[in-house]
Amino acid sequence: MAAAPEPERPMTRTSSTRIAKTAQGTHTFEVAVDRGLGVGACVTSDTFAVGGHDWRVRFYPRGADARRENYVAVFLDLVSKGGVDVQVQVLFDFRLLNWATGVLSSVFSQTKLFKAARGPWGTNTFMQRGLLEASYLQDDRILIECEVTVVKQSLARETVDVRVPPSDLMLGDLGRLLESEVGADVAFKVKGEVFHAHKIILSVRSPVFKELLYGSTSETKKSVTIDDMEPVVLKALLRFFYTDSLPAMGELDGGEKNEDLVWHLLVAAEKYAVERMKLICEEILCKQLDGKSVASTLALADKHHCSGVRDACLEFMRRECPAVYIDILEKAANKSHKV
């Protein structure tokens, strides 16, 4: 099958400070989707070289595990030539080709310290299968472009960022629909306050809400009581469903510290499977790190499985609190020896 023509790049770009001594390469991986593959089965690309290391893309068309079989998963694998001790700092970006428009869109990007012994890095929730098949599948083919940037020399002061994927919400007037409550068909009762919304929008944005509102019951629910959430958090969650963005912290009249509120939002995003909102909260927390909050933030990051925040905390400690950082490493090493 002939290779797809080189599409035009999207006009929107981000800028960053150039990192000294980097190597960059792009690999195009055209996947012929085998609909007979089951959950956990993957398709791998050819091996390609960037920055003196060999790499490979793994694509799971039915999900990497049963919990997320409604999503496709994509990972970047370091094919080590030097054994399990190989480590390399990498920025990688996965893009998908829209065959109809010829545009490649960035879906997931991340900065990671790759360790051959730890296996591949990527995401189990790369994209919902329904959305992928509707916009990026043609003749049972998907084209994935993976751009890999290998850092050969670290900066004097490194930072760890959570990279938030671009918005896929197309209608900008949904926020006004939420505020007007026109056509709202479900009410949420939270600690004495009532919020009205539209079931169809919530079910599209969250598989958890879809099950809650259109699940196994004979009649769809018109009223839902939520006991484990503050009103300000639900208000922000609903706004995200409609606008794909969080309000400024000053707009949230919740009477809580900024950091505490962000953690509540992150927990809500995790509960209702809103991956983009969770990543935005992680990004905010990474930017707010200081000497007073880093220890508690690290503990919460471990509790809620936030790898990006955890990496940022450890990097902050390595730079600003080296004694604490070494103590954590020693305790982790002792714990692993006991196991």
The crossing angle, in degrees rounded to 10, of helices 275-287 and 258-271 is 160
Could you identify the residue written with the tokens 């007073």? 292
Q: CB of 194 within 8 A of CB of 235?
A: no
Structure-token pair, residue 264:
């509540």
Residue 2 is assigned to a structural domain of this protein:
no
220 and 276 share one domain: yes
Q: What is the pLDDT of residue 155?
A: 46
Three-state DSSP class for residue 236: helix
Long-range pairs for 113-118: beta carbons < 8 A, 24 or more residues apart: 113/87, 113/88, 113/89, 113/311, 114/78, 114/86, 114/87, 114/88, 114/89, 114/90, 115/78, 115/86, 115/87, 116/78, 116/80, 116/82, 116/83, 116/84, 116/85, 116/86, 116/87, 117/84, 117/85
Domain that holds residue 27: 22-151
**Considering 151, 184, 210, which residue would you say is the last residue of a domain?**
151
Q: What is the pLDDT of residue 170?
A: 52
Q: What is the pLDDT of residue 79?
A: 83
Residue 78 is assigned to a structural domain of this protein:
yes
39 and 140 share one domain: yes
Residue 157 is assigned to a structural domain of this protein:
no
49 and 131 share one domain: yes
C-alpha to C-alpha distance for 102 and 39, rounded to whole angstroms: 29
Q: Model's pTM, two decimal places?
A: 0.48
Q: What is the CATH number of the domain that holds 235?
A: 3.30.710.10
Residue 165 is assigned to a structural domain of this protein:
no
110 and 210 share one domain: no
C-alpha to C-alpha distance for 266 and 240, rounded to whole angstroms: 12
Residue 130 is assigned to a structural domain of this protein:
yes
301 and 203 share one domain: no
Structure-token pair, residue 107:
């879906």
C-alpha to C-alpha distance for 133 and 248, rounded to whole angstroms: 34
Q: What is the CATH number of the domain that holds 95?
A: 2.60.210.10
Residues sharing a CB contact under 8 Å with residue 297, sequence separation 6 or more, in sequence order: 259, 285, 289, 309, 313
Q: CB of 27 within 8 A of CB of 45?
A: yes
Pairing of strands 43-44, 53-60: antiparallel
Residue 184 is assigned to a structural domain of this protein:
yes
142 and 67 share one domain: yes
Structure-token pair, residue 228:
């484990």
C-alpha to C-alpha distance for 302 and 295, rounded to whole angstroms: 11
Q: How many distinct structural domains can be found in the chain?
A: 3
29 and 85 share one domain: yes
210 and 330 share one domain: no
How confident is the prediction along the chain (339 residues), in pLDDT tens digits per residue?
A: 444 444 444 444 444 454 447 788 999 999 988 878 888 899 999 999 998 888 999 999 998 888 888 999 999 988 866 666 678 888 899 999 988 888 888 888 888 887 766 778 888 999 998 888 888 989 889 999 999 988 875 444 555 667 777 665 555 578 788 888 899 999 999 999 999 999 999 999 999 999 888 886 646 678 899 999 999 999 999 999 998 888 776 555 444 567 788 899 999 999 999 999 998 888 888 888 888 888 888 888 888 888 888 888 888 888 777 766 666 666 655 554 444
Residue 296 is assigned to a structural domain of this protein:
yes
Q: What is the pLDDT of residue 328?
A: 64
133 and 217 share one domain: no
Three-state DSSP class for residue 260: helix
37 and 125 share one domain: yes
219 and 114 share one domain: no
Q: What is the pLDDT of residue 86?
A: 75
178 and 271 share one domain: yes
Q: CB of 249 within 8 A of CB of 261?
A: yes
Residue 10 is assigned to a structural domain of this protein:
no
End-to-end C-alpha distance for the chain, whole angstroms: 52
**Considering 244, 259, 284, which residue would you say is the last residue of a domain?**
284
The secondary structure element, H or E, covering residue 201 is helix 199-205
CA dihedral 268, 304, 151, 328 (to 10 degrees): 150
Per the DSSP assignment, residues forming a β-bridge with 114 are 88
